[in-house]
Structure 1
Amino acid sequence: MTELDIVTFLVYIAGLLALGILYSSQIKNTKDMFAAGESSPWWLAGISGHMAMFTSGTFVVWGGIAFRQGLVGVSILMMIGISAWMAAFTIAARWKASGAVTPAEYIENRFGHAAVHFYSWVSTTFRMIDVGIALYAVSVILSALITVPEGHFLAGRNGETISVYWAIVICGFAMVLVSAAGGLWAVLMADVIQFVVLTVSVLIVIPLLLNEVGGIKSFIDNAPERFFIPYSREFPPLFLVGWIIIHFFKIGGQWAFVQRFLCVSSKQDAKKAALLFGLLFIVSPIFWMLPPMMYRIIDSNANSEKAFILACQSVLPPGMLGLIAASMFAATASTVNSQINVFAGAFSREIYGKIARFKSSEKSMLLFGRFVSLLLGLIVISIAVLIPSLGGAENVVLHLTGMLVTPIVLPSIWSLFSRKIGLSSVIATFGVSIGGMSLLKPFIESRSGFIDNPLLLEIWIIGIILPVSVLLWFEFTGSTKSISCSRVRAIKDSAEKVPSLSKAGRLRHFLISGYVFSTGLVILIIAVLNEQGRKVLLIAASALILAVVVINFRLLKDKFGD
């Protein structure tokens, strides 16, 4: 990257840190810290949920598949949108109706304190490994882009670019400080800003790449055979169906996504947030995956995992590559911060806060929550640093996601509909699935010569059929006598509407407008300094600046009248 790229990237990181510091003054208690005071607008929660599903792996893993297999990469990601819509119509409102502030509080009310410990430790272990790999992935990409002087202490083995380990430490601490300081509000706000930066950056790259490959007709004519078929032998329709089911359970039960249903003010808003989440995942993969798909025409021998960033690097003028790198950093930051925030909430409110001898106050729980956020962040950074020595971590995570998401989250989802699911069913579901993975996975892989896609079979048998079968057995044989749901209270939708320009709303509005306007100015400056892609950059900058002006004018008009 050029000096202008590095400046753009560092300014963005500084902006995220400033956001966390600013929102730290708004945090008065743990409800503000971990549930945004239950006053987040539905659109903010929906965009944040969409971005929480993002990591650099979206571009590295699925971008690589799009580079090799074309539309398959798009269709896999679009399945997540269908999953979110399914969650919107079945689960989202039920989570809000539970009356819980955090997912861990619901687990406490529904299954008892022992279940909170079980879920907290199991889910934290599983997700921290996943998040550590996401941090490692974005650090690898950034380490390939950021050049340093020869012999610099930040230099990697090649002596020309920043060490991946230093990239992990710098990026990790920046992400963690945002979450520890500003809580869920900072995470939600950062997600919206990241969404704007990422979307604008990709929409700038697409026309520049189309021009590079000779237009749409040339792109289609020169694409490999079956490049525009939405499935393949490696990822057949049955895999796509399984992917929908797995992510329906993931969005409906994984704590980082459940938090988006709990932080809004009503059941209807929880449903609307999930619908927006789904809509964005139906539409946006088309744009995200086009750059690596088009780069296949430019360089068919390129490293598929780096296809997205190489596509950007091939057409963007100095400065814009820094913005793209910042958007990829931001996408991973969303996931890291979301997971840290939700598990810090579990440990502070439902474990630390329930230990009688501490006699914990809101202030002490808030301080403990920030301490846990920092501690979990250090764990994530440590895991990311160890990834190179583990080998094949991405493949391991793909298997763990396919086989362990359902047994971890499905009991809590099932309990929203049934009173027969208790702590014993939670432990049994997880235990049977772990046992099944230990016994069946080696057997299935040993028959790989007879099975085209062992992962597909593992996902369906171990990741879906086994946990569903265990819970069905409890449903048909269990009793409601031992299950106490008295502490799970229903809440009513609030008839009061939050004013669009309340004190909190004005701060959100000011920050989002400021960041979008600033992004427009940065793109405008880059357009002035470069002839390459100037027309596209000027259009993008003008659209952002004009959008901010028009929206602010309409809001002021609504507030003060004609």
Structure 2
Amino acid sequence: MNSTFSTYDLVVLGAYFAFMLLIGWVFRRAVSNTSDYFRGGGSMLWWMAGSSAFMTQFSAWTFTGAAAKAYEDGAIILALYFANGLGFLGNYLLTAAKFRQARVITAVEAIRRRFGKVNEQVFTWLQIPLGTIYAGIWLNALGLFFAAVFGFDVNTTIILTGSAVLLVSLFGGAWAVSASDFIQVVVLMLITIVAAVFTLGKLGGIDAFFETVPLTGKSNGLEIRSSIVYVWIIAIAVKQVVNVNNLLDSSRYLSARNTKEARKAALLATVLFFIGPVIWFIPPMAAATMIPDMSAVFPNLSKPDEVAYVAICLEILPVGMMGMLASGMFAATMSSMDSGLNRNAGIFVRNFYFSVCRPQADEKELMLAGKLTTITLGALIIVIALGLNQLKDMSLFDIMLQFGTLVAMPLIIPAMLAVFVKRSPDWAAWSAILLGLINSFAVKTLATEARLSAIIGGDLTSREMSDLILIIGVFSNLIVGVGWFFIATALSKHIPAKRESEVKAFFADVEQPVEEGDRDAGQDDPSLQVTLISRVALAYGGFMLIMALIPNPLTGRLAFIFCGGSLIVIALLLKRGARAFTLQSKVKAPTATSATQDQTSA
């Protein structure tokens, strides 16, 4: 087994970072105001907005903490990712259109329109710290992982990755973030397809996979207290659907060109979340059979199961391809971080600096404030990541799920109800958050192993304890948050006339589709974004084709040809689309001129 990076792998990884920085530099020309910087001017096409929505929903944790779950418990991990698919299906069917039609630059501006200025600040000063801590956890976990498995220096990994994310966001804003997300999703899907195919080849094919790999994982996870497992699946589905369909995450679709493009973006994310996991978790599930004792291979790791995905890839992938896998893992984390960084900078500038401190500020000042905020938050994320090294002794899977359940869920429940409940007092939102956080503290404090064991009747494993905490946290927060929100609505007999008028205006917008020609519809020439991305994709695809020259067996060379060729085909299709947009604009221009001349003559 090759346990270190070859020179070729390092070249591939270095080229990936260079191309990501190139995207930030190329897209700087597309930014002229805060709408461009924080939401791409609301001009992005569906495939760009959709790939960004998809990539922001997971990080390298998918290939570490979640891969460990697949290794230990088998196919049950698919429930988490299919739940994301259900959440995005809800976006496609209902909420993506409503979110885009909020007609704002940041999600918290939509919160202000719906719940007033007090809640604008409540959500601002909860979302920014939460988002920053999330990013710090992701970055720290990535650094620890690469340090343990490949011998990279953990601090150097954190600083270099954090700096790359910072520069991409700083140079090109939302345009560069979404463009890099598109390239990253293509690279990620290609390399995981290669890893899955090589894994199946090692086992002897698909039939051999089902014959030799236990779908319940190494621990027979579905057979241990199946009642807990099945309730956990339901809780995960509820949690993820709520998580994806709340107004605070409307930023996924605020960048879309119009309502139609927003819904198509949601559909793309839906399809990717139903297809992707089936491909991603073939290697770690196969590891349960191929490498039953992960600690024997990585004796120095405190959580060796978390490298199940990489352990298989070290066995099967050709020389140079591990660099691409590392690129994919960096991509998964960078996409979440850069979107969060850009989003949080936008919230600070638009919902605090402009709303509270400098309402008279012009676009030039706001752009400067946005860039300074991006630098500050980026540096803070790196500092947090460097200070979180104690995470190496904890389960990444449990950390992320419990943090999302007990800390983030109280915040997003009123944000979920925001576009469905039309008459409620402003205080219903912040009070529901407060009660939710109190409930989460009570769950974490009172739901002890002794109490839960007495209720269940028998000793609990650490895995079962973690599952029960999540189950109790999800359903209790849902009951407390939703229940109190409606109680507050029932208690409020009178809403101030000004706020009632503002809320009616908000819902009037939310119900009205954004179409081509509308004031808030994308105004930029779409051919520019297509042309720029196609050029980067073409260059990176060409680079991957050159990697086919690395001394490898034929199958290894074909893997690079498949990845590079696929990216080049996508680039050529994009260039063709750019030409179509140009032709359309030329056809429309004379018509508009003619109409103007007719009106003048009349």
Q: Distance in 1 between matches of 2:469 and 2:530?
A: 45
Equivalence for 1:514: 535
Q: Distance in 1 between matches of 2:362 and 2:579?
A: 41
1:431 pairs with 2:434: yes
Q: Map 1:225-374 to 2 at 5 A.
A: 226-227=216-217, 233=224, 236-253=229-246, 255=248, 257-302=249-294, 303-355=304-356, 359-374=360-375
Equivalence for 1:484: 500
Equivalence for 1:136: 140
Q: Summarize deviations over 1:74-103 as a string: whole Å, max 9, x none.
A: 232111101111233232222222222211
One-letter amino acid of the structure 2 residue matched with residue 515 of structure 1: V
1:537 pairs with 2:560: yes
Equivalence for 1:28: 32
Equivalence for 2:129: 125
Q: Distance in 1 between matches of 2:316 and 2:247?
A: 38
Q: Distance in 1 between matches of 2:131 and 2:331?
A: 18
Q: Distance in 1 between matches of 2:189 and 2:139?
A: 21
1:14 pairs with 2:18: yes
Q: Distance in 2 between matches of 1:79 and 1:101?
A: 28
Equivalence for 1:207: 197
Cα offset, 1:36, TM superposition:
0.7
Q: Equivalent of 1:178, from 168, 176, 183?
A: 168
Q: Distance in 1 between matches of 2:111 and 2:343?
A: 13
Equivalence for 1:458: 472
Q: Distance in 1 between matches of 2:160 and 2:577?
A: 40
Equivalence for 1:401: 404
Paired residues of 1:47 and 1:195 also in contact (CA < 8 A): yes
Q: Distance in 2 between matches of 1:72 and 1:539?
A: 31
Cα offset, 1:305, TM superposition:
0.5
Q: Distance in 1 between matches of 2:25 and 2:96?
A: 31
Paired residues of 1:420 and 1:480 also in contact (CA < 8 A): no
Paired residues of 1:31 and 1:37 also in contact (CA < 8 A): yes
Cα offset, 1:13, TM superposition:
0.8
Q: Equivalent of 1:419, from 418, 422, 442?
A: 422
Q: Distance in 1 between matches of 2:18 and 2:487?
A: 53
Q: Which one is further off, 224-233 or 210-219?
A: 224-233
- Percent identical residues: 24
Paired residues of 1:24 and 1:181 also in contact (CA < 8 A): yes
Paired residues of 1:87 and 1:248 also in contact (CA < 8 A): no
Q: Distance in 2 between matches of 1:105 and 1:547?
A: 36
Equivalence for 2:487: 473
Paired residues of 1:91 and 1:413 also in contact (CA < 8 A): no
Cα offset, 1:299, TM superposition:
0.8
Q: Distance in 2 between matches of 1:497 and 1:142?
A: 48
Q: Equivalent of 1:188, from 172, 175, 178?
A: 178
Cα offset, 1:15, TM superposition:
1.4
Q: Equivalent of 1:47, from 44, 51, 74?
A: 51
**Structure 2 stretches lacking a partner, 5+ long:** 295-303, 457-463, 585-602
Q: Summarize deviations over 1:381-420 as a string: whole Å, max 9, x none.
A: 1111111236537334421211233320221332222233
**TM-score, normalised relative to structure 1:** 0.89
Q: Equivalent of 1:110, from 114, 138, 142?
A: 114
One-letter amino acid of the structure 2 residue matched with residue 529 of structure 1: I
CA 1:15 to 1:422, structure 2 compared with 1: closer, same or farther past 3 Å? farther
CA 1:547 to 1:371, structure 2 compared with 1: closer, same or farther past 3 Å? closer
1:273 aligned counterpart, secondary structure: helix
Cα offset, 1:555, TM superposition:
5.9
One-letter amino acid of the structure 1 residue matched with residue 309 of structure 2: F
One-letter amino acid of the structure 2 residue matched with residue 534 of structure 1: R
Q: Summarize deviations over 1:265-288 as a string: whole Å, max 9, x none.
A: 322332222222112111111011
Paired residues of 1:72 and 1:232 also in contact (CA < 8 A): no
**Structure 1 stretches lacking a partner, 5+ long:** 147-160
Paired residues of 1:128 and 1:380 also in contact (CA < 8 A): yes
Q: Which one is further off, 489-498 or 345-354?
A: 489-498
1:355 aligned counterpart, secondary structure: helix
Q: Which one is further off, 508-517 or 84-93?
A: 508-517
**TM-score, normalised relative to structure 2:** 0.84
Paired residues of 1:432 and 1:466 also in contact (CA < 8 A): yes
1:236 aligned counterpart, secondary structure: helix
Cα offset, 1:556, TM superposition:
4.6
Q: Which one is further off, 134-143 or 56-65?
A: 134-143
Q: Equivalent of 1:165, from 136, 155, 161?
A: 155
Paired residues of 1:50 and 1:280 also in contact (CA < 8 A): yes
Paired residues of 2:526 and 2:578 also in contact (CA < 8 A): no
Equivalence for 2:526: 505
Cα offset, 1:110, TM superposition:
2.5
Q: Distance in 1 between matches of 2:525 and 2:371?
A: 22
Q: Summarize deviations over 1:88-130 as a string: whole Å, max 9, x none.
A: 3232222222222211211222222222221111112222212
CA 1:551 to 1:127, structure 2 compared with 1: closer, same or farther past 3 Å? closer
1:448 aligned counterpart, secondary structure: helix
2:500 aligned counterpart, secondary structure: coil
Q: Summarize deviations over 1:160-203 as a string: whole Å, max 9, x none.
A: x3321111111111111111221111111011000111111111
Cα offset, 1:132, TM superposition:
0.9
Q: Which one is further off, 127-136 or 188-197?
A: 127-136
Paired residues of 1:55 and 1:331 also in contact (CA < 8 A): yes
How many equivalent residue pairs? Answer: 543
CA RMSD after TM alignment = 2.7
Q: Distance in 2 between matches of 1:376 and 1:118?
A: 19
Paired residues of 1:71 and 1:230 also in contact (CA < 8 A): no
Q: Summarize deviations over 1:299-338 as a string: whole Å, max 9, x none.
A: 1111220111222221122221111111111111111011
